[in-house]
Structure 1
């Protein structure tokens, strides 16, 4: 298949290598032509503009730094929109703004073209190896039609539904990771300043309950099914643990901003009379503030976890 690809940076270079290995005929564009030289030497073609690229291939993929660059490539002067034909599809692999994606989706639809947001997760190593997740939302027939091309870039493909949903999922994924990093930095600096060797501390805690399971899998236990009774570990006991940790931080002189916020959340939950409920019942407070109620069928959750364990 003739595949257009714009953006040959750390992520794009790995994905285009895999597309070429899979036998697809590439049409390439980047701000730096030299980024494409190896691929061109192996048979890829060069397009002088996004508009020219769109007019010379069946499907287009973009991998760009962010919303401004994507909007310029997609809908700017000599952009993809000027060259795309009715029924043609553009998959944006960038980490993008759902608002920008949804706005441009309407503009592309007016021309009869399809814009799908398709952010990826795996980093440069995953892009090079093909061990990468792709979250895709938008026109489902286009997704099905070009699935063989998508499969050449990643091994975990998820169709998310209406356009913009995949970009929301990517932001949730990345934000959670960086927030966890911030929390871990706070906890570990407290432990080290309290006198524990950092290597021994890491070796120890990674074998505890939190270290032995996948981060997002914990959501299936209480938060997603909205089930906090009976408690696996009571809120009053967890509140005691966090109180001890924040007190230790004070004793050794380590700022504990996230820990103190966590303690405030748990204290508010105690004030609701939830002492005997599960320790995660404090997560209900954020649902109330956000104005959403999450209650997933437990059997649906168990089916997903079983399927993962069998792979």
Structure 2
């Protein structure tokens, strides 16, 4: 379904799902939905002894056609295990994430990150083309760089998730220099790059903390501080997760 209003109507409307479902049955919400609404729906369904799993899918039309869809499941883990075969029939990566609403949170993280990256890519590619590089050649080149050869979310496991920035893979001072050069070129070419300028500001703020010799991703600590969250995952757990995916 397109969004929260449609889900709410289908679930709770006069002729909706809640009105017709039997005790002990289960409802999977496959939409990209509001975690707040998901939790409210779960409360309402629970009152009628109907189980709910928020189960947003990711993979798009191509994934749906090939059966290669990820499903991120929030809810009672026992109910997830009971209906795992049904979920496996929908996609090839049905994973339990956590309590009700957790699947929807994961989907929002995934989609928002993708569109933010898309915006940044538009900035840097227009800069590159305006600087005189042929678009296809530019695309083919950057696909073979450090960022192009690795999936974006996998890189979070190196430093950000484990909260470990020493020794550096690539020092903050070098990253700051690179982004400074890119934003300077953009100004010369009169190419607006608001996302890149935000990144430059973060790197500068991290430098001002005296973190110049630490890994460049230490700048991500600033957002952890602003959000008031602590993220520190056991490196062995990160390694095990990557190995399960054949990385």
Match of 1:77 in 2: 14
Note if 1:130 corresponds to 2:67: yes
Superposed displacement of residue 141, structure 1? 2.6
Q: Secondary structure at the match of 1:223?
A: coil
> Which one of the candidate residues 129, 133, 145 is aligned to 1:196?
133
> Which one of the candidate residues 53, 56, 76 is aligned to 1:139?
76
Note if 1:274 corresponds to 2:211: yes
In 2, the alpha carbon distance for the partners of 1:184 and 1:240 equals 19
> Which one of the candidate residues 172, 181, 190 is aligned to 1:235?
172
Note the 1:239-254 alignment, pairs <5 A: 239-254=176-191
> Which one of the candidate residues 158, 162, 176 is aligned to 1:225?
162
Note if 1:100 corresponds to 2:7: no
> Deviations along 1:68-111, whole A, 9 cap, x unmatched?
00100101111111111211110010111100000111111111
Q: Secondary structure at the match of 1:131?
A: coil
TM-score between the two structures when normalised by the length of structure 1 = 0.78
In 2, the alpha carbon distance for the partners of 1:162 and 1:278 equals 34
In 2, the alpha carbon distance for the partners of 1:141 and 1:307 equals 22
Structure 1: runs of 5 or more not aligned? 1-63
Structure with more relative contact order (C-alpha pairs < 8 Å, separation 6 or more) = 2
In 2, the alpha carbon distance for the partners of 1:213 and 1:255 equals 27
In 2, the alpha carbon distance for the partners of 1:236 and 1:139 equals 46
Match of 2:147 in 1: 210
Q: Secondary structure at the match of 1:173?
A: helix
Superposed displacement of residue 140, structure 1? 2.3
Match of 2:113 in 1: 176
Q: Larger C-alpha radius of gyration, 1 or 2?
A: 1
In 2, the alpha carbon distance for the partners of 1:305 and 1:116 equals 26
> Which one of the candidate residues 59, 74, 99 is aligned to 1:162?
99
Match of 2:57 in 1: 120
Note if 1:187 corresponds to 2:187: no
Match of 1:15 in 2: none
Note if 1:257 corresponds to 2:194: yes
Q: Secondary structure at the match of 1:112?
A: coil
Match of 1:297 in 2: 234
TM-score between the two structures when normalised by the length of structure 2 = 0.98
Q: Secondary structure at the match of 1:189?
A: helix
CA RMSD, aligned part only? 0.9
Superposed displacement of residue 115, structure 1? 1.4
In 2, the alpha carbon distance for the partners of 1:281 and 1:146 equals 41
Q: Secondary structure at the match of 1:211?
A: coil
> Which one of the candidate residues 89, 102, 112 is aligned to 2:26?
89
Q: Which moved more, 1:100-109 or 1:301-310?
A: 301-310
Structure 2: runs of 5 or more not aligned? none
